Amino acid sequence: MVVSVPKPAEELLEMLDGYKNMFIVACGGCPVGCDSGGMKRVDELTEFFPQNGKEVTGNVLIDFLCNKALVGSKLIYHLKKLKKSQAVLVVSCGIGVQATGKMVDIPVVPANDTLSSQGMQGLWPSSERCAGCGTCYLAFTGGICPITSCSKSLINGMCGGQHDGKCEVETERDCGWNLIYLRLKEVGKLDNLKKIPHLRDFRKMDVSDKERHTTRWALEKEVIYEAPKQSSEKEEA
Ligand code: SF4
Ligand code: SF4
């Protein structure tokens, strides 16, 4: 399971500063398992934002946001609402936020911080997209992770070494910050480059024992319901 926790309310408002409204996309997978998502959280957010001067244009719960094809096939039914939304708030791990960002030409904003992925990249496993860094920067970087897309995992912009869009460290690889720049330009958010990102809070990286489930946790789980024992007399009768 990819473990994520809700970002604090103040941070959500900070990330959505300048947006009048947003559409909420929530993952029905891991965040439900670690109690940081699902319809319960969507309902809470749908109540919270109007109280803070922002409109929620609609919402959708999709089984696994890390499945890019599934995200696209479900979002297509919400195009009308998406078209009048200035941002998409994504309730999931960093992989789900990035998959959603690939499907819409509107800025995506993470509602959660991802703490641990145990190397899993969900149903989009071709390369590492989220390292579970504990402080998600995707709202500022156009939905492209600076930790995994930049060889130096820089969070405050390009190092200056890129050449023709390629990284100076791994010359075959696209420079992550060049991709971030191009994406921000595309969605009209180049101003984000002037913002100073939060420093990572390493205390968050301490994933509690309860949350250290592996993908096989269900196999190890103890029985959650014990059927009442039938008495032997009844069985005989
Ligand atoms: S910034 Fe990147 S590594 Fe950190 S939580 Fe977001 S997607 Fe994951
Ligand atoms: S060239 Fe780009 S991807 Fe490579 S280390 Fe510098 S900023 Fe990061």
Predicted confidence (pLDDT) per residue in 141-194, tens digit: 999 999 999 999 999 999 999 999 999 999 999 999 999 999 999 999 999 999
Among the residue ranges 38-42, 138-142, 208-212, the one predicted with the least confidence is 208-212
Is residue 219 predicted with pLDDT exceeding 60? Answer: no
Tokens representing residue 2 in the block? 């990819």
Counting ligands in written order, the one closest to the CA of 95 is 1
Mean pLDDT, rounded, of the chain? 88
Counting ligands in written order, the one closest to the CA of 135 is 1
Higher pLDDT: 233 or 20? It is 20
Q: Is residue 214 part of a domain?
A: no
C-alpha 143 to ligand 1 mean position (Å)? 10
Kindly give the interhelix angle for 94-103 and 68-75, rounded to the nearest 10 degrees.
50
Residues 154, 96: Cα–Cα separation, whole Å: 21
pLDDT of residue 8: 95
Q: Is 130 in the pocket of ligand 1 (CB under 6 A)?
A: yes
Q: Is residue 71 part of a domain?
A: yes
Domain boundaries, position 83: 3-142
Q: Is 159 in the pocket of ligand 2 (CB under 6 A)?
A: yes
Q: Which atom of ligand 2 is found nearest the CA of 158?
A: 7
Q: List, in sequence order, every residue forming a beta bridge with 76; answer none if it has no partner.
A: none
Q: Is residue 228 part of a domain?
A: no
Contact residues for 167 (Cβ-Cβ < 8 A; gap 6+): 150, 151, 161, 173, 174, 175, 176
Q: Is residue 220 part of a domain?
A: no
pLDDT of residue 129: 82
Q: Structurally, how many domains does the chain consist of? A: 1
Return the half-sphere exposure (C-beta side, CA atoms, 13 A cut-off) of residue 190. Answer: 6
Q: What is the CATH number of the domain that holds 86?
A: 3.40.50.11860
Per-residue confidence at 222, pLDDT binned at 50, 70, 90? low
Q: Is residue 120 part of a domain?
A: yes
Q: pLDDT tens digit string along 86-96? A: 999 999 999 99
Q: Is residue 218 part of a domain?
A: no
Distances (CA, A) of 186 to 30, 106, 132: 30, 9, 26
From atom 2 of ligand 1, which residue's Cα is the shortest distance away?
A: 145
Q: Is 145 in the pocket of ligand 2 (CB under 6 A)?
A: no
Residues 64, 41: Cα–Cα separation, whole Å: 16
Is residue 196 predicted with pLDDT exceeding 90? Answer: no
Q: pLDDT tens digit string along 70-113? A: 999 999 999 999 999 999 999 999 999 999 999 999 999 999 99
Single-letter code of the amino acid located at 11:
E
Tokens representing residue 83 in the block? 């078209």
C-alpha 180 to ligand 2 mean position (Å)? 11
C-alpha 142 to ligand 2 mean position (Å)? 16
Q: Is residue 184 part of a domain?
A: no
Q: Is residue 94 part of a domain?
A: yes
Q: Which of 6, 206, 16 is nearest to 93 (CA)?
A: 6
- For the residues of 37-60, what is the DSSP string, one character each? -HHHHHHHHHHHHHHTT-EEEEEE
Is residue 217 predicted with pLDDT exceeding 60? Answer: no
